[in-house]
Amino acid sequence: MKQADRKRILIADDEPSVRSLVKRILSQNYTVLEATDGEEAVNMALSQEPDLVLMDILMPKMDGLTACYAIKMNHTTKEIPVVMLTALGYDLNKRLSQDIMGAHGYITKPFNPQDLLNTIAKFLKG
């Protein structure tokens, strides 16, 4: 697949090891963009318009829930699927992410690489 034809995924996580792992898993099939905090994620979503965003919750400058909400409230980025990728597995966080902030999915760390790929594929059909 040519680089220009690839879907683009933005991974927003303040942990370099998590970004590196996700990039390794995804880079064979996708172009991976990286953000180190929620504020950078929102700015990159606006400027790069990725096909999907993987968002950690606990990040500096702007947490992932606020960043998700900002992406979902902007007319330019509101259609971009956001999947929360976080160590916070509490039901409250899942409900808040999806029902209030507009996230499309929720993956708990540590995650199974195949589950990550399956979740992404589900949102990038077509």
Q: Closest Cα partner for 93 from 54, 52, 53, 58?
A: 58
* Domain residue ranges in the chain: 3-121
- Collect all residues with Cβ–Cβ distance below 8 Å to 69 and sequence separation of at least 6: 100, 101, 102
Question: Which CATH number applies to 3-121: 3.40.50.2300, 1.20.1260.10, 3.40.640.10, 3.40.50.620?
Answer: 3.40.50.2300
pLDDT score of 114: 94
Average pLDDT, the chain: 89
Contact 123, 81 (CB under 8 A): yes
pLDDT score of 124: 92
Mean pLDDT of 59-64: 93
Question: How far apart are alpha carbons 124 and 110 in whole angstroms?
Answer: 22
Half-sphere exposure of 120 (CA within 13 A, CB side): 27
**How much of the chain, in percent, has pLDDT values that exceed 90?**
70
Contact 9, 53 (CB under 8 A): yes
